[in-house]
Structure 1
Amino acid sequence: MNIHKNASMTPKGRAHLVREIDRIGLKPAAAAAGLSERTARKWHRRHACEGTGGLLDRSSRPQRCPRRSQASKIERAVALRRTQRLTYECIAERVGLSRSTVARACKAAGVARLPALQDAVPVRRYERQSPGELLHLDTKKLGRFDKPGHRVTGDRTQNTPRAGWQALHVAIDDHSRVGFSLMLADETAKSACAFVLGALRYYKTLGVKVERVMTDNGSAYKSRRFAKLLRRLGIKHIRTRPYTPRTNGKAERFIQTLLREWAYAFIYPTSEHRTRELQPWMYHYNFHRPHSATSHRPPITRLGFDGNNVLRNYI
């Protein structure tokens, strides 16, 4: 039982009051306890009728509430919320209750937030057995700038007019989580092909031979130029289902990490300074940064590299 911090009497004090009333009388006992005779008489009467349990605090809720909403209306309001997904205002108009009453009833029934129309798609996690079996590719547009923008200054009027965009191309190995990224001028098929060649050269230096690549359905990845390059290299191309980015979730998650820990983590004077910091950050990501999918060890450890062998790591 929770006793108010400023309570003048506790159950123990009330028991003492009852004993004093029996010993010296009502009026002296009430005066000694600093209570009115009416209050002292109340506790003495409760103890006589209910025993020690009568000295405990009781709920302040009234025993009857004539103006309380009918239970049938409350049940109907909850049913309308659960089955027809109506708003509080519509339910209140149909049932004849106030909006606040409908809101309280729905909250108590656990339907304050409308349930999803469809069940959530079950998460299907997978991981290839060896490095190079599958390489995830994706791109992200980043704006150019000649001075810090609104993310730093908070002033959206401070921008770089007609600065244009850059395209961050990323690749990540499905098994090892070793990543590779380049900042290129655009997202065209020519840039995508150049990035693939750069990524293959990088992974080759680590002893990884790429067998498959997974991309979304961007125009560059669906181009004939990109398909011809992969055929010539003997690499199988897998594309995700339309409007299903979670299929390529490792690349999407890698981009979010890049944005959080590299692109938006520091105040860069210009976009060129940001680009120059990309490769040092990639070294940190691959060789030093703990990764949850690799038992909180750097991704490079899954390729058999010793984290202390600097000459071998930084090829």
Structure 2
Amino acid sequence: MLHANAALTPRQRLRMARLIVEEKWPATRAAERFGVSATTARRWADRYRAEGTAGMTDRSSRPHSSPAKTDPARTKRIVSLRLRKRWGAHRLAAETGVAPSTAGAVLRRCGVSRLSRLERREQAPVRYEHLAPGELLHADVKKLGNIPAGGGWRFVGQRAGKANRHLDGGRARNRYRNPLMGHGFIHVVLDDHSRTAYAEICEDETGPTAAGVLHRAVAWFAARGVTARRVLTDNGGCYRSHDWITACSQLRLTPKRTRPYRPQTNGKVERFHRTMTAEWAFAQLFISEADRRAAFPGWLHTYNHHRPHTGIGGHPPISRLTNLPGQYS
């Protein structure tokens, strides 16, 4: 690429060099004609004599050797610490015995100068999808704090939300003397292929409750033409209980569990939780927990039947359960 401030293009260099070499012009006269110094004119003429037309192109200004360049072992240590510790140039310099500018230059040269490029979310995700509905169900529980009468702090503010908690009294208190509002436990069973979801709001996350939800979820899917074969869960207590194992045996389901501390394996139901909290639980002001729970069935119907899902091409989940009467109602 030609330098933006270059006085000569490769074609002009060639013309000037030919005037000096072939037509015997003095270098001073040729330089005056092309608006450059005599030294520049002689340099291009010498290159033309040595290399011909090919010598008129630009060359890299990089030196042939860099004796002061950071040695490979130290470069490797700087990059290793950057990847493992996420340290900046000053911390790396203090640890490796180089100047901060040197550490920064190493990071730029190796392409790790920006932390945003090192985050896991920038890596290509590993995705999977089973070929037919029912081949794999994802089950999980989402725990949400109950809303006090009058509204919670997310919409009415910290002071008003705290006052509403105290007005909605009659409950046990925590160590800060604040009333305990309790929690709702949303048990979700989601089909891997279609992303169709069955969900119930319960008062606990015990084994019997989870087993009961599984029985009703399998029946709900069966009514829509889906035969469940396997179910994937995390390692929560309710999914390790005898009630859950018994329910899977009765329903002829193969139970599977994710690797500990690896929620990505159950990522589809985890993503459903995020959608659920954003579009239902925290989407608007509810003046009581009863009002929020009353809105849940309507939202779940919208999610299954009408909301476009980007994971399946922008179609609603129910559209993947074929030959289902009234699936778009």
* TM-score bracket relative to the smaller structure: 0.5 to 0.7
Query: Is the contact made by 1:78 and 1:105 (CA closer than 8 Å) also made in structure 2?
Result: no
Match of 1:81 among 78, 83, 90: 78
CA 1:107/1:151 → structure 2, altered by over 3 Å: closer, same or farther? Answer: farther
Match of 1:149 in 2: 152
Code of the residue aligned with 1:112 in structure 2: it is S
SS of equivalent residue, structure 1 residue 220? helix
CA-to-aligned-CA distance 1:54-91 (integer Å, 9 cap, x gap): 9xxxxxxxxxxxxxxx9837668755421444653344
Query: Is the contact made by 1:74 and 1:105 (CA closer than 8 Å) also made in structure 2?
Result: no
Query: Is the contact made by 1:170 and 1:179 (CA closer than 8 Å) also made in structure 2?
Result: yes
Query: Is the contact made by 2:138 and 2:266 (CA closer than 8 Å) also made in structure 1?
Result: yes
The CA distance in 1 between the partners of 2:108 and 2:328, in whole Å, is 58
CA-to-aligned-CA distance 1:133-169 (integer Å, 9 cap, x gap): 2111001100001133332244277332210111011
Give 1:199 deviation, angstroms: 1.0
Match of 1:105 in 2: 105
The CA distance in 1 between the partners of 2:288 and 2:319, in whole Å, is 34
Match of 1:219 among 237, 261, 271: 237
CA-to-aligned-CA distance 1:75-129 (integer Å, 9 cap, x gap): 68755421444653344445453x4x246424532333578699x9974432222
Match of 1:133 in 2: 135
Give 1:2 deviation, angstroms: 8.6
Q: Which runs of 5+ in 2 are unaligned?
A: 8-29, 38-65, 166-178
CA 1:288/1:305 → structure 2, altered by over 3 Å: closer, same or farther? Answer: farther
The CA distance in 1 between the partners of 2:225 and 2:68, in whole Å, is 71
CA 1:270/1:50 → structure 2, altered by over 3 Å: closer, same or farther? Answer: farther
Match of 2:189 in 1: 171
Match of 1:261 among 275, 279, 297: 279
Give 1:266 deviation, angstroms: 1.6
The CA distance in 1 between the partners of 2:181 and 2:81, in whole Å, is 50
Query: Is the contact made by 2:207 and 2:244 (CA closer than 8 Å) also made in structure 1?
Result: yes
CA 1:140/1:269 → structure 2, altered by over 3 Å: closer, same or farther? Answer: same
The CA distance in 2 between the partners of 1:88 and 1:217, in whole Å, is 41
Relative to the length of structure 2, the TM-score reads 0.65
1:72 paired to 2:75: no
Match of 1:60 in 2: none
Match of 1:296 among 311, 314, 321: 314
The CA distance in 1 between the partners of 2:92 and 2:33, in whole Å, is 45
Query: Is the contact made by 2:184 and 2:204 (CA closer than 8 Å) also made in structure 1?
Result: yes
The CA distance in 2 between the partners of 1:84 and 1:129, in whole Å, is 43
1:205 paired to 2:223: yes
Give 1:222 deviation, angstroms: 0.6
Match of 2:257 in 1: 239
Give 1:251 deviation, angstroms: 1.1
The CA distance in 2 between the partners of 1:279 and 1:141, in whole Å, is 17
The CA distance in 1 between the partners of 2:67 and 2:112, in whole Å, is 17
CA-to-aligned-CA distance 1:168-217 (integer Å, 9 cap, x gap): 11111112211111111111112112211221222122122212211111
Q: Say what the alpha-carbon RMSD is for the aligned residues.
A: 3.5
Code of the residue aligned with 1:150 in structure 2: it is W
Code of the residue aligned with 2:252 in structure 1: it is G
Relative to the length of structure 1, the TM-score reads 0.68
Query: Is the contact made by 2:215 and 2:247 (CA closer than 8 Å) also made in structure 1?
Result: no
Following TM superposition, where does structure 1 have runs of at least 4 consecutive aligned residues deviating by more than 6 angstroms?
Answer: 114-118
The CA distance in 2 between the partners of 1:111 and 1:232, in whole Å, is 54
Q: Aligned pair count?
A: 252
